[in-house]
Amino acid sequence: MPRETILIDADDTLWENNIFFEQTIEEFLTLLEPLGFKREYARHILNETERRNIRQHGYGVRSFGRSLEETYMKLAGHNANRETVQGIHNRVDDLEKVPPNVLEGVVETLDYLSERHRLILFTKGEAAEQAAKVERSGLQIHFDAIEIVPEKDVATYRMLVNRHHVVKSRGWMVGNSPRSDINPALEAGLNAVFIPHSATWELEHEEVRSGAGRLLIVRQFRDLREHF
């Protein structure tokens, strides 16, 4: 098989990530219920707050914590208390310390792929936070390069293609997010492998669109060995 360049997402592709955020959100929604807010409404306000903070402060645990606190202050109003705010801070601190839980089949599949193809880890988020997760995962040894960017959009994919001299017809993006991994990669002319994850972040949901490249859909990461 010809040597391909395979860009691989990190969060919820190589290791579990969003399930821990969702657990925190569920605890947060439970906290708000005694104030009279239905979970669906509170989640809607949180999502809108996250969208705004992402534009201003980027991704990551700290931005998420800011969104939780702002949502709480907005909904609680004069009933807000300092102890609850501190509890939110403490929960976010715990979230930041969660070690990467590498998904089943990832290590063996990376061993297999790295012997045959050029692998580039391509993740978005706060640079220091993502770099720390990569280091704690121990997976960096499988990659020729690691790219951490504030956002994954078409322009970023094109920049990456140019920087690493990727031949688009032999370049692939592997990930779980239609919004960040699949659609912009296809629009930039790359091929893509979509690995759906049951806990993909709500703000990353999009309908998968066609693009210039080919699209594969596989059930789990280890299935990549059947195609590469």
Contacts of 197 (CB under 8 A, 6+ apart): 12, 13, 18, 176
pLDDT in tens, 137-187: 999 999 999 999 999 999 999 999 999 999 999 999 999 999 999 999 999
**Residue 119 · residue 106 · CB < 8 Å:** no
pLDDT at 1: 66
In 3D space, the residue among 50, 51, 7 whose CA is nearest the CA of residue 148 turns out to be 7
Q: Does residue 3 register a pLDDT over 70?
A: yes
Q: 96 falls in which pLDDT band (50, 70, 90)?
A: confident
Q: Does residue 122 register a pLDDT over 90?
A: yes
Q: Highest-confidence range of 36-40, 81-85, 147-151, by mean pLDDT? A: 147-151
Bridge partners for 149 per DSSP:
124
Q: 200 falls in which pLDDT band (50, 70, 90)?
A: very high
Q: How far is CA 28 from CA 81, 87, 119, in A?
A: 14, 10, 38
pLDDT at 177: 96
In 3D space, the residue among 172, 186, 226, 213 whose CA is nearest the CA of residue 8 turns out to be 172
pTM tops 0.85, yes or no: yes
Domains in the chain with CATH codes = 5-16+100-226 (3.40.50.1000), 18-96 (1.10.150.240)
Mean pLDDT for the stretch of residues 107-118: 98
Q: Does residue 6 register a pLDDT over 70?
A: yes
